Amino acid sequence: MLRKLIVSFSRLGPRAFPFLPGWQSEQTTSAAAAWKRVPLHVKVLVVHNRYQHAGGEDVVVEQECHMLRNAGHEVITYLRSNDEIKSFSRLQRLALIPRTVWATDTRREFKALLERERPGIVHVHNTFVMISPSIFSACEEAGIPVVHTLHNYRLMCPTGLFYRDGHVCEECVQMSLWSGIRHGCYHDSGAATALVAGMIAVHRRLHTWSQPSHFYIALSQFARQKFVDSGLPEERIFVKPNFVHPDPGLPSDREQYAVFAGRLSAEKRVDNLLRAWERSNSHFPLLILGDGPERPGLEEAARHRNLSGIDFKGRVPRAQVIEIVRKARFLVFPSELYENFPVAIVEAFACGTSVVCSRMGAMQEIVSDGSTGLLFAPGQVDDLAEKMDWAWAHPDQMNKMGRRARREYETKYTAETNYKLLMDIYNQVKKRSTTRV
């Protein structure tokens, strides 16, 4: 049955779709003055489908919209949320199967919005599930270029993570989407994975991802190379990292704890963090900020093993997270995922807080070992324990690394710098789209 489903999706062509065409604050005042020196003022339609569990992606979208408005751009938003599914009837839930691939009602509504507003650029973040990739053909039909920020790897991996069963997995790129279906990667379900794989397959066949007016933003050079290796057009992939705003500034002093901040899911490997803390000699106070499916098991493991120095704080408002990170001795980020661009690390940089993280993905691109933090071998609990012990025993050296991390933030990850990068991308997109026409 799964084979029939995915094959039927892959055979779909254009004829299957007859409607296809043949924030003001003191901290922003100086930045705003600089922003206005950038010549392009464009009307932007921002598209985002929020997840049921809010995360860093939602924060990035909100901050980017605010940045654009603060610089004088007109920003229209088209926002949906997967929370809508909670109120769906059984029949409506069944209807999610085709709408994941092509949401006719959304495309109709979005086309009317394009005709009414006539934006200069459509900036897309996430379309999964309620929006669907159907909106891209509406943009192509209207002759409006698309800038698509790739926050994950969903265009080539059904989970969007390149991660399965406790390790990195790229079989859906190296072999085929059948690998993901066979393993049931998405929600541990072959049928659910087939649905997402079908969406990817259909839009590959429709050339949705390769339309000449479709441009991309990768969050790091590492992620950009992954997208190129997966077949996206190299010449249309720009790199623009996330940013932190408002600037939290440096703390007056540090308090006696280290911190992890992030979603408590399997790929973040907080279980290894607990094991490393248990093996460490320091047994320093460790705060765990965040929630997620792994939290009950992690808390039970900490209680069972009497890890009394570890304190699970649960979900904490972002402003409070920043303040806790700001006063920490260092941030620990043990993820074994191909992180695109972990906002928690750059938030630590903004606070002048050094970072201990895995030597993989964009993390090793952001954190310079021995300069702005320490890198450990992914999955190596003893190496993580050793690095944390060293960090706790050498506060002066870690503070120096934190000051260098702060300079990295001031150079690369402020709102002002990010705005200039975004305007350069918009300018290039508009110029190349006009040339094409």
pLDDT at position 28, please? 44
Tokens describing residue 368 = 């310079």
Question: Binning pLDDT at 50, 70 and 90, where does residue 20 land?
Answer: very low
Distance of alpha carbon 430 from alpha carbon 136, whole angstroms = 17
227 has a pLDDT exceeding 80: yes
Q: Strands 237-239 and 214-218, how do they pair?
A: parallel
Distances (CA, A) of 128 to 206, 288, 308: 18, 29, 40
Neighbours of 95 (CB within 10 A): 14
| % of the chain exceeding 90 in pLDDT | 83
27 has a pLDDT exceeding 80: no
Q: Which of 87-91, 310-314, 390-394 has the lowest mean pLDDT?
A: 87-91
Domain boundaries defined on the chain: 2-243+415-436, 258-412
Same fold, 2-243+415-436 and 258-412: yes
Q: Strands 167-168 and 163-164, how do they pair?
A: antiparallel
pTM value? 0.89
DSSP string, 357-397: EESSTTHHHHSPBTTTEEEE-TT-HHHHHHHHHHHHH-HHH
pLDDT at position 436, please? 55
pLDDT tens-place string over residues 116-172: 999 999 999 999 989 999 999 999 999 999 999 999 999 999 999 999 999 999 999
Check whether domain 2-243+415-436 has CATH 3.40.50.2000, yes or no: yes
Q: Which of 10-19, 62-71, 283-292, 337-346 has the lowest mean pLDDT?
A: 10-19
pLDDT tens-place string over residues 29-58: 444 444 444 446 899 999 999 987 767 799
**For residues 127 and 49, is the Cβ–Cβ distance under 8 A?**
yes
**For residues 228 and 237, is the Cβ–Cβ distance under 8 A?**
yes
- In the block, residue with structure tokens 């607990």: 274
Please name which of 75, 77, 4, 71 lies closest in space to residue 33, comparing C-alpha atoms.
71
Domain 258-412 CATH class label: alpha beta
Tokens describing residue 219 = 């969050």
pLDDT tens-place string over residues 176-197: 999 999 999 999 999 999 999 9
Neighbours of 390 (CB within 10 A): 15
pLDDT at position 419, please? 97
What average pLDDT does range 388-414 have in this prediction?
Answer: 98
Residue 374: strand pairing partners: 356
12 has a pLDDT exceeding 50: no
pLDDT at position 159, please? 96
